[in-house]
Amino acid sequence: MGRSRRDHPKQLASKLLKLRSALSLTQEQMAERLRQTKPSVRPGHVSEYERGLREPSLLVLLCYARLAGVSVDQLIDDELSLPKRFS
């Protein structure tokens, strides 16, 4: 099996920041909500997700999507925008 790097969504970090901001949550509060899915999520992880330094797991992305009422596709597909309420 190859070990080539896979493509990463380029807009994911900014979309996650927009979601959290629109939900009026601090990084600590977002981490607390994400811990429902993955107990090891810390506020520092949320910061790293939003700065593009760390990529959230699929389950964490699903939790973000459910909290915001958007599809996971809208988060990870760079060709799809978030609804206007997150602009």
Question: What CATH number is attached to the domain comprising 24?
Answer: 1.10.260.40
User: Model confidence over 31-45: pLDDT tens digits?
Assistant: 999 998 888 999 999
d(CA 31, CA 47): 10
Task: Quickly state the pLDDT bin for 54 (edges 50, 70, 90).
Answer: very high
> Does any domain span residue 2?
no
The total domain count for the chain is: 1
Backbone dihedral region for residue 24 (phi beyond 0: left; psi -120 to 50: alpha; all else: beta): left
- The better pLDDT of the pair 44, 4 is held by 44
Model pTM score: 0.90
Q: Please report which confidence band the pLDDT of residue 1 belongs to, taking 50, 70 and 90 as the band edges.
A: low
Residue 3: inside a domain:
no
Residue 5 lies in a domain: no
Return the residue matching tokens 């509060």.
29
Expressed as residue numbers, the domain containing 63 is 12-80
